[in-house]
Amino acid sequence: MTSFHQSFGRSFGRSALGGIAAAAVILAGSTAWAAEKWDMPLAYAASNYHSENAAKFAEAVTKATGGALEIVAHPGGSLFKGGEIYRAIRTGQAPIGERLISALGNEDPLFEIDALPFLATSFDDSWKLYQASKPKLEETLDKAGLVLLYAVPWPPQGLYNKTAVNAASDMKGVKFRAYNAATSRLAELMGAVPTKIEAAELTQAFATGVAESMISSGSTGYDRKIWEHVKYWYDVQAWLPKNMVIANKAAWNDLDANLQKIVMDEAGKAEQAGWNKARELADWYKEQLAANGMEVGPPSDSLKADFESIGATMTKEWLEKAGAEGQAVIDAYKAM
């Protein structure tokens, strides 16, 4: 009897240990394959084509990975405000997000290259500038602990103002909404007074008189119903700034190679879709501004000449900051 109990105990012990070991293997496997969720902060309204494109990208990644990586878009500055998104991604507070590249000029001069007036003023030229600057952009982001996924442009930038503008001198003393260092400098060179205002606060700023003018695309004016506060939009086609979607490198490295490939594949599709949508909407936005009572048209010869002079000054100043690396990018762009 004693022998039986000992034999049974040994057998039961081995069986129990085997079960525990098997359970541990199963648990380890389930942990390895547990779904990952990435919250994706966006600065612009859900109805903006950048946000719509990002939401489609997020859904496509979630579907293509079978839910192994779920990306959830949070538009309108609801998770982090526009000015907070880049830092949030760098510090790991958010694993992924979208930011206007030229708003990061204080981080590195390279980020301002697509906001240099009259350097690239069409979608074709903007794409060439992107390709010329992309290797350096990826390198700069990598040093900051970030991974570039894709970038999409805004339509060409125009001048919004409450009163008619025939020359840059008409802008003297005007409260000018700035969204990056380049627009602040542009305001100063026109004699306007720059005020830093993110997109989410734009409507209130114009409604309360904090801002009276800005350089921005037809998209921004349409999204914010700018015709309620501003009468004129001049199609100066100053530049085509881009938004980029970036990921925290540590979070990125936590993904296996298969998931990384899926994300990059979907990012490539989102980039192409975003560029196509921007082209499609550029003229439509102008039509909508005019349909809502705004005076929409080209700049006068004097205003155009003033802007070209300002653009030359800003490019010279930028090259002094960006140095040989900046010159190399511009040379590569002009050689295309």
Which pLDDT tens digit goes with each residue over 215-253?
Answer: 999 999 999 999 999 999 999 999 999 999 999 999 999
For the stretch 88-145, pLDDT in tens is 999 999 999 999 999 999 999 999 999 999 899 999 999 999 999 999 999 999 999 9
Provide the pLDDT for residue 50: 97
Tell me the three state secondary structure of residue 231.
coil
pLDDT at 17 over 60: no
Provide the pLDDT for residue 12: 39
Query: All domains of the chain, ordered by start, with CATH?
Result: 36-334 (3.40.190.170)
Task: Quickly list H helices, the chain.
Answer: 2-32, 49-64, 82-90, 123-143, 181-190, 202-207, 218-223, 249-253, 257-291, 301-334
DSSP 8-state secondary structure symbol assigned to residue 117: T
Provide the pLDDT for residue 34: 58
What is d(CA 54, CA 72) in angstroms, rounded to the nearest whole number?
10
pLDDT at 1 over 60: no
Question: Where does residue 258 fall: left (phi above 0), alpha (psi -120 to 50 degrees), or beta otherwise?
Answer: alpha
**Stretch 149-164: mean pLDDT:** 97
Provide the pLDDT for residue 35: 84
Provide the pLDDT for residue 28: 38
Cβ neighbours around 10 below 10 Å, total: 10
The phi and psi torsions of 330 (rounded to 5 degrees) equal -65, -40
Provide the pLDDT for residue 116: 93
Q: Is the CB of residue 170 less than 8 Å from the CB of residue 100?
A: no
Question: Where does residue 242 fall: left (phi above 0), alpha (psi -120 to 50 degrees), or beta otherwise?
Answer: beta
What is d(CA 40, CA 36) in angstroms, rounded to the nearest whole number?
13
How far is CA 131 from each of CA 151, 234, 325, rounded to the nearest angstrom? 11, 28, 15
